[in-house]
Structure 1
Amino acid sequence: MALLRTACPLTSCLALVARQRAIALPRAQRRWLLRQTRSLATVAPHSHHQVQRSKRFKELNASDVEAFRSMLSKSDSSVLTTIEAKGGKTLTADELTPFNHDWMQKYKGDSKLVLKPRSTEEVSKILAYCVKNKIAMVPQGGNTGLVGGSVPIWDEVVISLSGMDNIRHFDPISGVMTADAGCILQVLDDRAAKEGFMMPLDLGAKGSCQIGGNLATNAGGLRLLRYGNLHGSVLGLEVVLPDERGTVLKVGMGGLRKDNTGYDLKQLFIGSEGTLGLITAVSILTPKRPASVNVAMLALSSYEAVQKVYIETRSHLAEILSAFEFVDQEAFELVLSHTGTKRPFEGGKPDARQFYVLIETSGSKKEHDDEKLTGLLEDLMEKEIIVDGVLAQDETQLQSLWSLRESIPEAAGKLGKTYKFDVSMPVSEMYGLVEATRQRFKDQGMADEIREVVGYGHIGDGNLHLNVVAKRFDQSIEDVLEPWVFEYVSQRNGSISAEHGLGQQKAPFVGYSQAPESIATMRAIKALFDKQGLLQPSKYLPAADEGVEASSEAFKQ
């Protein structure tokens, strides 16, 4: 019989509910429900995408720097450059490293100039000047991206939106918030919480990522299952276009939920990764913050059991289900080792625990939610689908359980250099990619180069995160993975990018998920907005001379 325990030494809430409801349980099940557990403790750069810098792009000089200083307020802190010019100090290359390198240290550019505008008007001036002078640009938010989209490839001007962090308005009646693109996601959520609302998006990087970057990548997050993606939550955008006027486009910024006057232009910019224009502000609908939140973590013996639990969970919890995450044994052990967290499951059969699922409910009435969750857990017990389980009893334990899931990327980064893949596939097919990846390195005689291969993700929306942790970033390792991973996904009718974006990493491989006709249409849209190709050059879409149809050769090998 499986063992379900509370996450602290308190009488099991399931047992309490069982007594209150006078449920007639077998003696073994009553002992099972009454068991307690101890408290849970606190819980060299390379890119496959090798492209040449276009000769069309201007190389910056002192006059350009001086021009930018004249158009930006607080120029000492708004214009950061290694180019000697009048009106300000000159920095060293090391001082620009945080803007040139991604946080994984995989993608590294060589920008000589970082601009930090503080208003939409300043962004407009920057883009107008760059277009007139053929200066390539890369917009940057919190620089928490995973595919090299937020850092330069060569010497593009970095336009950091971090100085634009004003929350313009919050309507406590409708829950509509209007905010600058540089606002940190956690700050926005804290502001919404004061009025009893919450951001519809929740990410592990919420303490440093910015809403503009979230919009540009159409980030999904941990609770997409409940609140949907940003295409449904965003009511309006303010965007600066890459033309000689620096046109400011405002679409839906009035905060209306219904507006059928013309094309819904804002949708083009959500997920476009800054290739069509720079998002400077958003009007977004925030849902009410739940009055009741429950979190349970269950241990399972197989991926088939994960799927069975998901089916049962949707049936029992329906409208209050807000998250259903899965973690494999390798990822789970990695987090425990990295964080020093006490193992939440004691006794039982450790060898039988191969997968873990985190289930979260969010509702408006605790008694109702507790009853539904209790019904689910009792059903899973009776059917003996789960091996073990813990149930959070307070906010501290709830956060501790969530940290076991959210700490995986950091734990992988501490172990070594991580190759990250973010794909979507039918749920039944997802974990096969993790197993096939492990086998591929064995078949290629490169298992010793890999420290760990882990899989985790969002079962609720069919999103797998495959992390391959290696001793170093190396071309030979990347050649084993790319484009083989994308071919594997394509053959199962999946997408090579679920929520992290395309950036530098996946731009050459879009053809594994999109037909040539679709890519041609995307290129036409790009040319319409960015005639000179100055925004995010050589990212997002394959270059015109790169093939767009998926080849099966890598998979055959």
Structure 2
Amino acid sequence: MSANGFLKPCSNVVKSFCRAYKASGIPELTQVRHNVKRGNYGTLDGKDVAFFESIVGRNHMLQEDLQGYNVDFLRAVRGNSQLVLKPNSSEQVSAILKYCNERKLAICPQGGNTGLVGGSVPVCDEIVLSLTHLDKILHIDEITGIASCEAGCILENLDLKARESGLVVPLDLGAKSSCHIGGNVSTNAGGLRVLRYGNLHGSVLGVEAILANGEILDLMSDFKKDNTGYHLKHLFIGSEGTLGVVTKVSILCAPQPQAQHVAFLGVPSFDDVLKNFRNARQFLGEILSSCELVDAGSLDCSVSHFKLNSPIEGYPFYMLIETSGSNAEHDMEKFNRFLENGIEKGQILDGTITGEVSKMREIWKLRELVSVALAEDGFCFKYDISLPLREFYHIVEVMKERVGHLANRVCGYGHLGDSNLHLNITCPEFTPEIYKCVEPFVYEFTSQLKGSISAEHGIGFLKRNYLKYSKSPAAIEKMREMKQLLDPNGILNPYKVLN
């Protein structure tokens, strides 16, 4: 990382954790565990395999050792695909989809396979369409800030290339070193700095998407403003590969910050967390780039599992606040006023602030490794929800009372800036007893508060039965009509989003 840029995620730790997951066993087949009836799709045969080989070549297809493509990151779901295809061009993707549509062969598009809702792996025996080889960075314009790349480009690689032109990609995730930009767009990934840059519906200028019938839909653009009819690109941002396969992306990057500071604060109550967030927006204004909440249980998990050193401890809540600006002295002056105000009012009990790259990295580790550390606790129920900010943490307290006797840990952390809570419940192993206590209660509780059952990870397979808690029947029916229009044979990522 450069002294003036965003911190890189803990790539080596996350990569080693992924390897450990792959070596530690596999879950029961999703089709069996969830009693899924296979759709009326064709069955792969030798003629199909021969056709695909003629398109991508023998070296770009796999028929053995497919566990890494069939099992998701969290080992929560497992498909039974017998074939993985790795095209290296949009034309090859087009030919594959056209053939599959004619044969009614189901397809599961897959990027870096870092999703958390079972959206990136097969449910039954769908062919895996891996976009790993569509990884070219096509163009980065240092004047306009526009970057274009193929969908299989790893997010971190695109960001590093953008930095060479004084830019940063307006998306930062813990899985940055392995997730694909196409997958990010297809799930409308949020990340750590939505507060500063907004979500991908605003940052993505255009996409190239290939429809189920093989038609290549060129929606690429180099303009922020293009008021010419329907903005079809938005159909594919967040559609999780069910309407088309995203193969190229055009995204507006931000100028690389010239100064950056991170504070880690101990806070006495959630009410004080809210007051600090309000004050951060008031005192830090345009330089505020991230405002994260970490509760005591989340921090303890991160610290204990990875032997990290927290600069402060012993508080029920912690806040990680980051600023990114162009003048270090000016930014620090604003930060100090914010801290002095919070300390004077008793809303901040202790904390540390730094502009040193190594120290900022260590502080971010405390937050970024929480998700990975929680999985070390045992089986982990993970919920990614949006809630009204005043009710942001209440569900954690409710779930502690509801399942605390069955759980190792019930905790919450997340993005205060966009009301996105990550609720986690860990237990020694998955049991029907705790499952029934947790679901659908979490979604019912969220719905009663008019929240969203998925803030940034999508619906995938694991949440498809709960979409009704965030969308009206009329809205879901329109989604079905859109799916029917663009994918009448239902071959694209079946069993996902819509049940």
TM bucket by the smaller chain? over 0.9
Aligned partners of 2:110, 2:233: CA distance in 1, in Å?
19
Per-residue displacement from partner, 1:32-84 (whole Å, max 9, x unpaired)?
xxxxxxxxxx9x44767542101x201111111111000114x22x1101xxx
Distance between the aligned counterparts of 1:171 and 1:96, measured in 2?
39
Alpha-carbon distance in 2 for matches of 1:335, 1:151: 28
Corresponding residue number in structure 2 for 1:283: 250
2:218 to 250, 264, 270: 250
Aligned equivalent of 2:22: none
2:361 paired residue among 393, 399, 413:
399
Aligned equivalent of 1:132: 102
**How far has the Cα of 1:312 moved from its partner?**
0.9
**Structure 1 residue 254: Cα displacement:** 3.5
Contact 2:461 2:496 in 1 (8 A): yes
1:377 paired residue number: 339
Residue 547 of structure 1 corresponds to which residue in structure 2? Answer: none
- Superposition deviation, residue 301 in structure 1: 1.3
Residue 392 (structure 2) aligned to one of 415, 426, 430: 430
| Equivalence for 2:462 | 505
Per the alignment, residue 317 of structure 2 pairs with 355
Partner of 2:487: 530
Question: Quick one: distance in 2 between partners of 1:174 and 1:152?
Answer: 39
Q: Gaps spanning 5+ residues in structure 1: where? A: 1-41, 82-90, 544-557
Residue identity over aligned pairs, in percent, reads: 47
Query: Quick check: 2:207–2:246 contact (8 Å CA) kept in 1?
Result: yes
Report the Cα distance in structure 1 between the residues aligned to 2:310 and 2:290, rounded to whole angstroms: 22
CA distance in 2, matches of 1:46, 1:462: 34
Preserved CA contact (<8 Å) 1:46 1:106: no
Residue matched to 1:80: 62
1:335 to 284, 292, 302: 302
- Equivalent residue number for residue 553 of structure 1: none
**How far is the alpha carbon of 1:257 from its aligned partner?**
1.8
* Aligned position for 2:236: 269
Per the alignment, residue 465 of structure 1 pairs with: 422
Partner of 2:192: 222
- Deviation for aligned residue 1:280: 0.2
Q: 2:376 aligns with which of 407, 414, 417?
A: 414
Q: Does 1:200 align with 2:170?
A: yes
What residue is the counterpart of 2:434 in the other structure? 477
Equivalences for residues 435-450 of structure 1 within 5 A: 435-442=397-404, 447-448=405-406, 450=407
Kindly indicate whether the alpha-carbon contact (under 8 Å) linking 1:49 and 1:505 is maintained by their aligned counterparts in 2: no
- Determine the C-alpha separation between the residues in 2 that align with 1:223 and 1:381: 25
**What is the one-letter code of the residue matched to 1:80?**
L
CA distance in 1, matches of 2:29, 2:338: 47
What is the CA–CA distance in structure 1 between the aligned matches of 2:371 and 2:343, rounded to whole Å?
Answer: 31
Q: One-letter code of the match for 1:530?
A: D
1:175 Cα deviation from its structure 2 partner: 0.8
Between stretches 337-346 and 112-121, larger displacement belongs to 337-346
For 1:291 and 1:45, locate their aligned partners in 2 and report how far apart those are by CA, in whole Å.
Answer: 49
Q: Distance in 1 between matches of 2:224 and 2:196?
A: 19
Match of 1:237 in 2: 207
Counterpart check, 1:496 vs 2:466: no
How many angstroms apart in 1 are the aligned matches of 2:418 and 2:62? Answer: 41
Q: Deviations over 1:115-146 (max 9, x none)?
A: 01111011001100100100001100000000
Query: 2:101, 2:419 → 1: CA distance?
Result: 40
| Secondary structure in structure 2 of the residue aligned to 1:415 | coil
Give the whole-Å Cα distance in 2 for the aligned partners of 1:170 and 1:359. Answer: 30
User: What's the offset of the Cα at 1:477?
Assistant: 2.3
AA partner of residue 512 (structure 1) = Y
Distance 1:143 1:319 in 2: 34
Match of 2:48 in 1: 64
Q: Deviations over 1:236-271 (max 9, x none)?
A: 10001001xx100011x2312221121100001000
Asked which structure has the greater CA Rg, the reply is: 1
Note the C-alpha offset of 1:479.
Answer: 1.9
Query: 2:277 and 2:360 mapped to 1: Cα distance?
Result: 20
Contact 1:49–1:508, Cα closer than 8 Å, also in 2 = no
Quote the residue 1:318 is aligned against.
Answer: 285
Q: In the alignment, residue 107 of structure 1 is paired with which amino acid?
A: V
Between the aligned partners of 1:279 and 1:427, the Cα distance in structure 2 is 33
Aligned residue number for residue 98 of structure 1 = 68
Contact 1:527–1:533 (8 Å) recurs in 2: yes
Aligned to 1:344: 311
Q: Which of these residues, 394, 413, 418, is aligned with residue 456 of structure 1?
A: 413
Structure 2 unaligned blocks of 5 or more: 1-12, 14-26
Cα deviations by residue, 1:459-509 (Å, 9 ceiling, x for unpaired)? 110000011112122333222211110000000010001001000111111
Whether the aligned pair in 1 keeps the contact of 2:260 and 2:355 (CA below 8 Å) is no
- Going from structure 1 to structure 2, the CA distance change for 1:200 and 1:436 (only over 3 Å counts) comes to same
Match among 32, 38, 42 for residue 53 of structure 1: 38
Q: Which residue of 1 aligns with 2:181?
A: 211
Match of 1:487 in 2: 444
> Which residue of structure 1 aligns with residue 9 of structure 2?
none
* Alignment: residue pair count: 472
Question: Using the alignment, how far apart are the partners of 2:28 and 2:294 within structure 1?
Answer: 28
Question: What is the TM-score of this pair, normalised by structure 2?
Answer: 0.93
Q: Which amino acid aligns with 1:270?
A: I
Which amino acid in 1 is paired with 2:157?
A: V
Deviates more, 1:388-397 or 1:354-363: 388-397
Q: What letter corresponds to residue 372 of structure 1 in structure 2?
A: K
Letter in 2 for 1:259: D
Partner AA of 1:319 in structure 2: E
2:235 match: secondary structure: helix
CA–CA distance in structure 1, aligned partners of residues 80 and 447 of structure 2 = 34
Q: Is the 8 A contact 1:392 1:401 kept in 2?
A: no
Instruction: State the 1:343 CA deviation.
Output: 2.9
Could you say which residue in structure 2 is the equivalent of 1:190?
160
Secondary structure of 1:103's aligned partner: coil
Cα distance between partner residues in 2 of 1:475 and 1:238: 43
C-alpha contact 2:185 2:200 (8 A) present in aligned 1: yes
